[in-house]
Amino acid sequence: MNGLERKSPSDDELDLIAKVPSESDRRSGKRKHRVLRDDSESEEPVPPPRNKPLSKRSKTGAEPESQVGDLLSFPRNPLILTGGKSDRSTTSAGFQRHESFWFFDGSLFIQLGGVRFKLHRSRLNGTSIFLQKVFGIRDGFYEKTSLNISLKSGDSANVSVKVEEVDGFDLYILDGVGVNLEDFVVLMNLMENSFEYCDSDVSVFMLASAIRAATTLQCPTIRSWAIITIERIWNLHTFLEPLPNPSEVLNLARTHGMHETVITRALYELLRAENFDAEVLKLRLPTRRERLDSAKEQLYYEWISIAADPQPSTVRCPFGQRCTSHSPSEVQKTHMDLVHMSSLLERHLSDPIGGLEYLISLEDRWSAAGYCPRCVHLRTRLWADKKDEIIKEMKESNNWLLN
Ligand SMILES: [Zn+2]
């Protein structure tokens, strides 16, 4: 999946001398004899990396915890790099080649964060509106071997892209455009291996990277896919399983126009998270901590109140003495067994919605405990209504909680 098979040319390919003009050759009308090897025309052996050792590179170059690479089933370390050849140009000195995205038949170089990629212009052109504009401007100045292109990025920021000619190829330096290296690698993975992500579980970190990079570089298809995937996962349908990393979603949701339900769900996940404090620290929003604490406390008392009530309604039961609801001691005993002795109460502290869903899911257990079908139905319906009420309150609190 990581393109490793495509990365290196075979021995035959290394020796192949082709007369294929490069991109810049075509522009300038020149026709060079090129050796289709993956670094340059030089016959010098590839020197060892001039930059930091690989192990250090992967530690220092990665985002905190390197979550993107680990959670994506990417190459074991997507930033493991092979040695870069010393570059003759001034600004591109000191780079490392990306191990996966170095296609021997690539038609241009892109460099970002000290890592160089050899990619296909046509593929980038069809994916990124931003790069399409950059290439278009570059084509208008084909005679220049060095160029600074200024334009607006997808984040509406004024940015510039430096272009140099290196070994007969254009080298586009994207530092300063607003995309970090890991996000760019995620974007490249999606661009080259998109079919692999259709049905697989994808992490929030990967989706966040994709949205950030696809926004800045204007890749509408990838951006839409990532947003739709987040909206599909962060829904308000079922709360039985907590969703991890809510702060990452909240950091994105506001700035990228995601559906309000995503924000509601992410806020709820934040408030019920076992690692609530750590998640709050990761928020990059003008959230006031005391408001979050207060909301968490409200959820706590909500659940305590629900869990303390063995009989959520005064039910007029048609089954008379045959139904458990007519016996206060049986009601109490059943409630103790199913809610308190089962640790249901503790499991859902600050999580009344998850707790209510669990109570509803115990339908068969309530029946087995002697509740008649009508009472079981009424109890579950009341709990479902309570759940909807809390969700409604959460929705109404979104703005207050996030500002
Ligand atoms: Zn009944």
Average pLDDT (246-254) is: 92
Answer yes or no: do 201 and 268 share one domain: yes
Cα–ligand 1 centroid distance for 365 (angstroms): 14
The full DSSP string for 339-392 is IITTTHHHHTTT-HHHHHHHHHHTHHHHHHTT--HHHHHHHHHHHHHHHHHHHH
Which H or E run contains 276? helix 276-281
Cα–ligand 1 centroid distance for 345 (angstroms): 24
Average pLDDT (235-254) is: 93
Average pLDDT (308-330) is: 80
Cα–ligand 1 centroid distance for 382 (angstroms): 14
**Which range (31-35, 120-124, 153-157, 196-200) has the least confidence?**
31-35
Answer yes or no: do 192 and 176 share one domain: no
Average pLDDT (203-208) is: 92
Answer yes or no: do 19 and 165 share one domain: yes
Answer yes or no: do 109 and 224 share one domain: no
Answer yes or no: do 57 and 171 share one domain: yes
Cα–ligand 1 centroid distance for 85 (angstroms): 80
- pLDDT above 80: residue 184: yes
Cα–ligand 1 centroid distance for 11 (angstroms): 80
**Which range (50-64, 163-177, 247-261, 282-296) has the least confidence?**
50-64
Alpha-carbon dihedral sign for residues 284, 285, 288, 291: negative
Instruction: Encode pLDDT of 67-80 as tens digits.
Output: 333 333 333 333 33
Q: Which percentage of the chain shows pLDDT scores above 90?
A: 60
- pLDDT above 60: residue 280: yes
Instruction: Encode pLDDT of 1-25 as tens digits.
Output: 343 333 333 333 333 323 333 444 4
Cα–ligand 1 centroid distance for 383 (angstroms): 16
Spatial CA neighbour of 38 closest among 103, 129, 122, 123: 103
Answer yes or no: do 228 and 314 share one domain: no
Domain assignment of residue 219, yes or no: yes
Cα–ligand 1 centroid distance for 379 (angstroms): 10
Domain assignment of residue 341, yes or no: yes
Average pLDDT (231-239) is: 93
Domain assignment of residue 102, yes or no: yes
Average pLDDT (197-203) is: 71
| Per-residue pLDDT at 202 | 85
**Total residue length of the chain:** 403
Answer yes or no: do 72 and 158 share one domain: yes
**End of a domain among 134, 154, 186?**
186
**End of a domain among 152, 186, 220?**
186
Answer yes or no: do 11 and 109 share one domain: yes
Answer yes or no: do 238 and 331 share one domain: no
Cα–ligand 1 centroid distance for 387 (angstroms): 22
- pLDDT above 50: residue 149: yes
Residue 324: which domain range? 310-402
Domain assignment of residue 171, yes or no: yes
Cα–ligand 1 centroid distance for 375 (angstroms): 4
Answer yes or no: do 38 and 57 share one domain: yes
Instruction: Encode pLDDT of 342-395 as tens digits.
Output: 888 999 999 999 999 999 999 999 999 999 998 999 999 999 999 999 999 999
Could you give the number of structural domains in the chain?
3
Give the whole-angstrom CA distance, residue 369 versus residue 334.
Answer: 7
- pLDDT above 80: residue 30: no
Average pLDDT, the chain: 79
Cα–ligand 1 centroid distance for 307 (angstroms): 20
Domain assignment of residue 289, yes or no: no
Answer yes or no: do 31 and 167 share one domain: yes
Domain assignment of residue 45, yes or no: yes
- 285 vs 214, 251, 291, CA distance in Å? 21, 7, 13
Domain assignment of residue 291, yes or no: no
**End of a domain among 159, 186, 213?**
186
Contact call for residues 57 and 81 (beta carbons, < 8 A): yes
Average pLDDT (38-46) is: 36
Answer yes or no: do 170 and 27 share one domain: yes
Cα–ligand 1 centroid distance for 316 (angstroms): 7
Domain assignment of residue 300, yes or no: no
pTM, full prediction: 0.73
